[in-house]
Structures are given as structure tokens and as C-alpha cells.
Structure 1
Amino acid sequence: MGAHVMMLSSLGHGHLIPFMQLAKKLVARGLTISFVTTFHHIPSLRSKAEAAREAGLDIHLLEMEIPHDHLTLGKVNSNSVQWHKLPPLLDADERLEPHFDRFLGRFLAREISPLPAPLCLIADFLLGWASAVAKKYGVPRVSFETSGCFAESVHQIVWEILPRNLPRTASGLYLVPGLPREVRLTRLQLLPELPEATPENGTHQYWLRVRPANRQSWRTIVNTFYELEGEFVDHYESVNGTLRTIGPLLPPEAFEYRDVQCKKIAPAVELGISTDGDKCMQWLDAQAEECVLYISFGSENSISTAQVEELALGLEASGVKFVWVLRTPSDAAQNSLTSPLDFLPVGLHGRMAAKDQGFFVLGWAPQLGILAHPATGGFISHCGWNAVLESTAMGVPLIAWPLYAEQHFNSKLVVDEIGVAVEAPQRIEQDWLVTRDDVKRIVRTLMIKEKGKELRKRMKELKAAAKTAVGEGGSSYKNFDLFVSEIMALPKA
């Protein structure tokens, strides 16, 4: 058994993927990992942890006991979330504190596991309180930023200052001060209620608690690579303290040739099981190179009934082939007897099958495997950070369609800063709807027009940079080496 490191993720499902990849990388360097979670994620993580142990990886899944009625995660559905209140997920993350405090005390007393005391605790950056709890028990805390430095830099300033206090241009754009270069935000690139947020806003108060607490960490690691957003890495470090960029945190297969490795990638990272996954990959096998558009809005988001209809009809009109991870709309009643297919325009599912234009995945999709497939040439994404890094590693350009939070700032990064995406024209006056005509236009722009070829070329350049960063001697490789050596130098309890 190697030196022990404990890990604690946010309750957000999307954070589990980089945490599990980090765990595997640390184990590969000879460390033993305990992954602490709650009943919310035990089902999706148990099979992965067991598979890892069968493969000789020293990863232990430990459950933190919480009454099942104590935490309500809620679900982020659309831009209509009432952001003047603290979102349910962040509220649940804060409510973890007393439970983890009790768990860590019992763990160190050897009441839970025979594992030795951890050299350090790697805790999600959303769990600011972890710094104080870890210090209480004499365990160094590492803050793990699962988002990128551009988005977090903008997010930090905007949420601390609040948009009402930001300088404005003559045309009404919001200027974000204190960044390496001028960043202008449109009203669309802010959360719906953020411009009106007051100092009493729940999320504003949350970040005033969390960020100073994170600065008390022993170390900070970030799931990004320096060549992607270097000047914002430098900025974020100057404000928040020394950090190590160690990403993209993806399986090694992700950086190999797409046509050889795509079928090996999916089981390496997916946390769910999809009965459509194998059929989807078989359908892609029959398609021409870079002709298919992949559509997914992430693991914790869905779009409205009206938006499903506009997107579906726009895709049909575009004539472009697609794979769509389809979920029940955000404004529809959750009914186990209702299929997401029921919310498509009448007859569309049948027409797509008859024309071999579209494939619908219900439930979990083998996302990285789909992106790795040579038939995939574009990605409609909500711009969660995992999705941005995965599309970068696969060299697949984006249609940026953010739904909430830092996704809007990630969208700003990929569209305006690094130029690997086109933006879905959401319309504020139409409740953030993207019309079928706009869908047709942007899809054809990405998949058929010259603009799409330019974005694809630029994204493939970033793909090469990402592969270099994680390869031996690369920036992330050396930072990870340094991080591991720093852990191993910590005194054992």
C-alpha cells in the first residue's frame, strides 16, 4: 500500500469525472486513494471503483453517512433558475461540512477504515469549508479547481464586484477590470438575474465565504493546461496563490489516434450505463468522416420543451447528420412513463431514422468515445469545462450553447478568446430561445461552411498542444510530477 491521499468531490455529478481521472493518475504514481462520497453517487461510482481495484488500482470508495432526507440536490434546468437564491447544489455542498467533519474524525480514530491517516485531503474548490475542517485535524488541504482559469478569473471578479458596479461601455457592454487584457461581456453572457443582483444575493455571499477559504489551502491544482489559457493561469495564480495546472485530466487513450482508440475511451471514463451506447458507436461507424454533429447539454442540464422543438426542426432543416443525447425537457413533468422522444415534433424521430440523418441517445452517452470517433466533426455543448477539455483533446470544434453559471464564461473563452467555436444566438427577449432558423444557420456554418473548416483547423492545433502538455516533459506532466513529489514530502501522521 502506498502513501494515502483522501479525495472529496462536490455533489455535482460533472465533478466526479475529473476527480476519478485524478485518482487514477495518482494511483499510477504509487499512491493509495480513498474517495469519499455520499449515497447520491455511490451507485455510479461503485462499479468504477471495483473495476479500478480489479485492474490493480488502489482506490477505496468510502461513504460519508448522511440522512437521505437531509440534502436536496435539485437540478439546474435552464436559464430561468432563480439565482438570487443559493442554487440547491451549492447549498447541499455547504451542508456537507458537519457530516464530513464527523466522518474525518471517525476515520482518523480508525472507526471507518484500516487505511492510515491521509497525507493530504484533495477537496473540490466548491467546498471552501474543507480548509478549516482539514486544519482542525492537522491534514493539509488541496483545493482542486475543476474549472478553467479564464472562467474562474472572470467569475471571481463578477461575483465579488457584482455587475451593477462594473464599468460599462457606451454600447452597454460590461467591462471586467483587473484581467490581463480587456474582457467585455454582453448582457447575454451574464446569468439572467446577475445584473440585478444585490449584496444580499445568496450566491454572492456564498463566494465571499468560499474563495477566501480556498486561499487557505496548502496547494491548488487546476484541470487545465498552460498553453490553452496561460495569461489567465498567471492572473489567477497572482490573485489566489500558487497553483499547478495538471490537465486535461483524461485517460491516456484520449490522446491517441481517434480511429484506433475511440472504442477504448468510453468505458475508461463514463460513470453511467447507456443501452444506446453500443448502437450509437455502430451508427457512427457507418458515417463519413467529420460529418456528424454531436449534441449534449451535460449531465445535469436540460432545455425547455419549446427549445427541444426549435432545435429538432433546425437540425432537420440543416440536413446535417447528428447524434443527440436527448433528455426530458426542463419544464416538463417528470414521468417514468414518458420518453424524451415524446417531446420531439410529431413524426421527426421516424423521419430522422428513415433518412439516416439522426441518432438519439436516451440516458448516458459514451461522450468521449463519440467525440473521438472520426465521423464526429462538431459538438453542440453547454460549455461545461469537462466538455471543453474533451472537445479540445479530440480536436472537435464547438457550437457554444451555455445554460448557466460559468458556462457563459467558458463560452466567451472558446468563441472570443481562443476561436474554436461559434455561439448559439440565444434571444433574451424570447426567454433565451434559439430559433429553428438560427439552429439551421449555425449548424451549417460549423459543419459545412468555410468558417467551420477554420475552427476545425484551430481546434486540431489545440489538440496537439494538449497532447504535448500531458506528455513526458510537457507543462502539465512536469506540474503533476512536482505535485506528487510535494505530497510525498509531507510528514506522515
Structure 2
Amino acid sequence: MEKALELVFIPSAGMGHLVSAVEMAELLVARHDRLFITVFIMKLPFDSKGTESYIASLEASPVSTRVKFITLPKVPAIDKNISPNSFRNQFIESHKSHVKNAVAKLTESESESRPRLAGFVIDMFCTTMIDVADEFGVPTYMFFTSPAGFLGLLFNLQRIRDVYNKEVNEFKDSDAELALPTFVNSVPANVLPSVLLDKEGAKAILGYAKRFRETKGILVNTFTELESHALDSLSDGETPPLYPVGPILNLKDDDSQSGSEQAQQKSDVLEWLDDQPPSSVVFLCFGSMGSFGVEQVREIAWGLERSGLRFLWSLRQPPPKETVASPSDYSDPKAVLPEGFLDRAVGIGKVIGWAPQVAILAHPAIGGFVSHCGWNSTLESLWFGVPIATWPMYAEQQLNAFELVRELGLAVEINMEYRRDFYGESPKVVKAQEIEKGIREVMAQNSDLRKRVKEMSEKSKKALMDGGSSHSSLGHFLDQIFL
């Protein structure tokens, strides 16, 4: 009988990375009955209610008897007033000894019946854990939760820095256009991720990219039919083997990871959507960290009102200044909305806080999605065939928006260059007219955009079927593990 093997998964803290890692683990064990996976969980000191309840549900009801979860010990308090980038680096680095101890415990009882440790699967921000894997004499693989386009950008910019001594942060406030192999079109500097336009941030993220090259392979949450050009450009012999295995999505009922309060909120939202005509509602949601200042909130409200279209708006309150925390629900959204807005919206619009995003996107009443273009949200929207109007905010979202609009023709633009800080503040305010235009465009029925999105929806599902591109790619990865 083939020897059982075990992989250790080390995702970054936070819902976007953790959920994808768990789905990846579940998919892998479903494909091979001699594979076991242990997922190490790092808990942020400011985890949102959704993250906490998700972790609790994992611990109470594991997805498989061959996937187990170990919550790592808390690390010493980190100054919340440092930059988010520095906070993340210190937070992950401080878990290194805990990971080493946890792996040592996993491997201490060597026996014929115990699975052999076959490697680490790390998140892009956890490259420091390659050192731990090396100590145990096992290879490291990476699960990249962002698009292949962004992965290629990082590899290219890291090479430009190290070979040509060109610092990417020099492009800040530049109108330069970059010719990069991963993209068909030249990439405007103003859609580069904010972290790359900051000297400290660029040093950190390109440092990660340099270590990506030390991995034995990279699982990417994308599929060949979506990013064929980017994936082809990365098959250059200079990067580790790529395994496009997406879309990796958590399509389970949101109730499985929420308390009774959120279950009631979900029920209320879906009941309201049940009363709306098919494809008539535009859904506005900006991710688990998405929020805006008061001036921008009011411009969104006016844009919605001017459009006259039905809407469902997930409106979140920014965290207090100078604290690292997640957005929260408003106790009374009237305080930030234009006077009388909620009264005038009765019957055609609904303002909510937390949103059960998957259930909403799956509802037939939804006709368009105003999104921050986080990659998980993008893949969910494409899966359900819902066109996107792009409104990126942070991380690599500006680049994702560029790829969706200019490269792939799968979205319309509200604004592609918008950036905000951790507290919802931005030097730019997107005006109501711009918002109205984008909403009308994404909600146009029988458009070429809508047809292309529906076609990509079908391709995303076929990719995961037996014989599909991602199904085959995952098989190649498992073959590599079990060599």
C-alpha cells in the first residue's frame, strides 16, 4: 500500500487567506485517500466576529477526518500603531518558534501507521516558514491566493530590482506604463499595488517574491481559461512549477460560520431579494476590510439615488483612527447617509451591515456587483455569472481591476486608481456621477459584458470537473507530492 503522507498548511491570518486554504486542503484530501493535512491557525488580536466564528466552526466540525486544525499559541503583543505591513511581518515572524514546536510534535511519534511529513504549503506572506521546513528536511510549496497576473508582476519587479537596480517605489505618482510579460497591455504605474509604491512595503513584498523562487511549486487560485496569457508567461523555466487549481471557493451556506444574529441578518436579506425581479439589483460590497469616510459614503448614496436602480449596499464603519481593527456595522447608518435617503429608498434599496456575500451573489435577483476586486470576491462573482463594476481599495486590487477591465473584458470601471488607507480615508473622492455611470453600465441587460461573464462562469465550473484544466493540474501536483 502507498505510504500515507502529511502536508502542513500555514495560511496567513484573516478570512480571505484562511478560507481559501481550508477549501484547498479539503479538495486535496478528497482527491487522494492517503493524504493528511494539518492547518496551523494564527489568530489576529483583532479578529472580526466572522473570523472567530469560522475558526470555531472548523474546530467543532472539521471538514474531513484527514484535515485537522491546530490553533497556534498567542504571540506577544505587537504595537498596533505601526504600519500594517510592519505589523504583518512581525506577527508572522513571531509565530516561527510555535510552528517549529508544533511540527516537532507532529513528527515525534514516528511509526509505520503515522503519515510521513511531505512538506509545507505556505501563504505568500509566510515565506519565513521556508526556514522551518528546511530544518525538517522537507520541501515548501506555496498556495497563492491572488491571480497569476499579480504573481507575475511580483516576479518581474523583483528581477528588475535585483538585476537592474530599479526600485519600484520610484514609480509613485508617475504616469509611466510598464511593459511586463504577464500582461498583454502595458500596465500603468497608477494601478500598481500601494504596498509596492511605498519604500518599506516594496522591500518587504519583493523580498517575499525572491523567496517564492525557493519553493518546489506554486498552487495558484486561478484557472487556465481565465489567465492563459499570464500562466503561459510564467512557464519560462525560471520560476517554480505552477499549478492553476482554481477557482477555490467557499460556497457553503454562510450559516455554518456565523452566529444566530448573522443568520437572522442573512434571512432578512434573502427575503428582501426574493421580492425583487431577476437581475434587477446591484450589490455593493467591499470585502471584510472595506469601509469609507463620510464624504464618500454620501457620494455613493447620491449615485445610487440618481441611477434609480434597485440596490443592496453593505455599509461598514471604519475602525477608530490609529488602531488596527476590522470595520464594524453602524448602530445607525442614518448618521452618515444623506438626510432622508433611507426613506426615499424604501421599496427599491436596502442598506445592510455585514453581508452573506456568497448567498447574495447566488441569488437570481442580483444583476451586478460593485466590488473592491479582492480575488476571492472576483472568483465568486465570475462563478455566479455576475458582472463587476470595479472599485479597488487596497492590496493588489487596483491591478486586479486593471486585469478584469483591460486585459480580460470581464468588468466595467467605476474607478481603477482609487486607494484608501486602513481607516477608510482616501485623498480621492469618487463623485456620484462616476458611480452612477458605472452602476448603469454594469447593470445593462443583454450586453456583451454580461455574455462574456456568463461564458467565463461556465468555464470556471468546467475547469474543476473531471478532465478540466484545474482538475488535471491538481492531479499533477498530487503526483509530485507522492513521487
Asked if 1:154 is matched to 2:162, the reply is no
SS in 2 for 1:225: coil
Task: Decide whether the 8 Å contact of 2:194 with 2:395 is kept in 1.
Answer: no
Asked if 1:445 is matched to 2:441, the reply is yes
What residue in structure 2 maps to residue 97 of structure 1?
96
Task: Decide whether the 8 Å contact of 1:426 with 1:433 is kept in 2.
Answer: no
Deviation for aligned residue 1:102: 3.5
Aligned partners of 2:445, 2:86: CA distance in 1, in Å? 40
What residue in structure 2 maps to residue 419 of structure 1?
409
Deviation for aligned residue 1:94: 3.7
Asked if 1:321 is matched to 2:310, the reply is yes
Question: Which of 212, 216, 221 in structure 1 is aligned with 2:219?
Answer: 221
Aligned partners of 2:260, 2:104: CA distance in 1, in Å? 32
What residue in structure 1 maps to residue 341 of structure 2?
348
Aligned partners of 1:216, 1:22: CA distance in 2, in Å? 21
CA 1:244–1:400: 2 relative to 1, 3 Å: same
Deviation for aligned residue 1:369: 1.5
Aligned partners of 1:70, 1:116: CA distance in 2, in Å? 36
Percent of aligned positions that are identical: 29
Deviation for aligned residue 1:105: 3.1
Asked if 1:385 is matched to 2:375, the reply is yes
Can you list the C-alpha shifts for 1:107-135, whole angstroms capped at 9, x where unaligned? Answer: 43369xx9755322111021111222101
Question: Which of 33, 36, 42 in structure 2 is aligned with 1:32?
Answer: 36
Aligned partners of 1:73, 1:44: CA distance in 2, in Å? 26
Task: Decide whether the 8 Å contact of 1:321 with 1:358 is kept in 2.
Answer: yes
What residue in structure 2 maps to residue 19 of structure 1?
21
What residue in structure 1 maps to residue 422 of structure 2?
none
TM-score w.r.t. the length of structure 2 is: 0.84
Aligned partners of 1:431, 1:59: CA distance in 2, in Å? 45
What residue in structure 1 maps to residue 349 of structure 2?
358
Aligned partners of 2:374, 2:261: CA distance in 1, in Å? 21
What residue in structure 1 maps to residue 469 of structure 2?
475
Asked if 1:285 is matched to 2:240, the reply is no
Can you list the C-alpha shifts for 1:363-418, whole angstroms capped at 9, x where unaligned? Answer: 3x221111111111111111111011111111111111011221111000101011
Deviation for aligned residue 1:9: 0.4
Aligned partners of 2:442, 2:86: CA distance in 1, in Å? 34
Deviation for aligned residue 1:166: 6.5
Q: Which amino acid aligns with 2:57?
A: K
CA 1:379–1:115: 2 relative to 1, 3 Å: farther
Pick which of 335-344 and 136-145 moved more. Answer: 335-344
CA 1:162–1:402: 2 relative to 1, 3 Å: farther
TM-score w.r.t. the length of structure 1 is: 0.82
Aligned partners of 2:287, 2:55: CA distance in 1, in Å? 21
Deviation for aligned residue 1:448: 3.4
What residue in structure 2 maps to residue 403 of structure 1?
393
Asked if 1:175 is matched to 2:178, the reply is yes
Asked if 1:461 is matched to 2:455, the reply is yes
The 5 A counterparts of 1:110-259 are 116=115, 118-158=117-157, 160=161, 161-163=166-168, 172-179=175-182, 181-185=184-188, 187=190, 189-191=191-193, 197=198, 201-238=199-236, 239-250=238-249
Deviation for aligned residue 1:331: 6.8
Pick which of 99-108 and 411-420 moved more. Answer: 99-108
SS in 1 for 2:276: coil
What residue in structure 2 maps to residue 6 of structure 1?
8
Can you list the C-alpha shifts for 1:290-333, whole angstroms capped at 9, x where unaligned? Answer: 11111111112322221111111211221111111211036779
Task: Decide whether the 8 Å contact of 2:196 with 2:202 is kept in 1.
Answer: no
Deviation for aligned residue 1:203: 1.5
Aligned partners of 2:273, 2:340: CA distance in 1, in Å? 23
CA 1:177–1:116: 2 relative to 1, 3 Å: closer
What residue in structure 1 maps to residue 68 of structure 2?
60
Q: Which amino acid aligns with 2:274?
A: D
CA 1:424–1:64: 2 relative to 1, 3 Å: same
Q: Which amino acid aligns with 2:13?
A: L
Aligned partners of 1:375, 1:228: CA distance in 2, in Å? 25
Q: Which amino acid aligns with 2:437?
A: R
Q: Which amino acid aligns with 1:48?
A: S
Asked if 1:432 is matched to 2:467, the reply is no
Deviation for aligned residue 1:180: 5.5
Deviation for aligned residue 1:449: 6.7
Task: Decide whether the 8 Å contact of 2:41 with 2:70 is kept in 1.
Answer: yes
Task: Decide whether the 8 Å contact of 1:154 with 1:409 is kept in 2.
Answer: no
Task: Decide whether the 8 Å contact of 1:166 with 1:176 is kept in 2.
Answer: no
Can you list the C-alpha shifts for 1:155-200, whole angstroms capped at 9, x where unaligned? Answer: 44346444466799xx93422344463423153x2356855x5xxx
User: Structure 1: 5+ residue runs without aligned partners?
Assistant: 75-81, 255-263
Deviation for aligned residue 1:464: 1.1
Q: Which amino acid aligns with 2:42?
A: T
Aligned partners of 1:132, 1:141: CA distance in 2, in Å? 9
Deviation for aligned residue 1:438: 1.4
Q: Which amino acid aligns with 1:139?
A: V
Can you list the C-alpha shifts for 1:26-53, whole angstroms capped at 9, x where unaligned? Answer: 2323232211112336833433324643
RMSD of aligned alpha carbons: 3.4
SS in 2 for 1:293: strand
Q: Which amino acid aligns with 2:288?
A: S
Aligned partners of 1:470, 1:359: CA distance in 2, in Å? 35
What residue in structure 2 maps to residue 257 of structure 1?
none
CA 1:425–1:4: 2 relative to 1, 3 Å: closer
Q: Which amino acid aligns with 1:402?
A: P
Q: Which amino acid aligns with 1:308?
A: V
Aligned partners of 2:172, 2:85: CA distance in 1, in Å? 26
Aligned partners of 1:219, 1:368: CA distance in 2, in Å? 30
Deviation for aligned residue 1:57: 4.2
SS in 1 for 2:117: coil
Q: Which amino acid aligns with 2:458?
A: A
SS in 2 for 1:122: strand
Pick which of 34-43 and 321-330 moved more. Answer: 34-43
SS in 2 for 1:240: coil
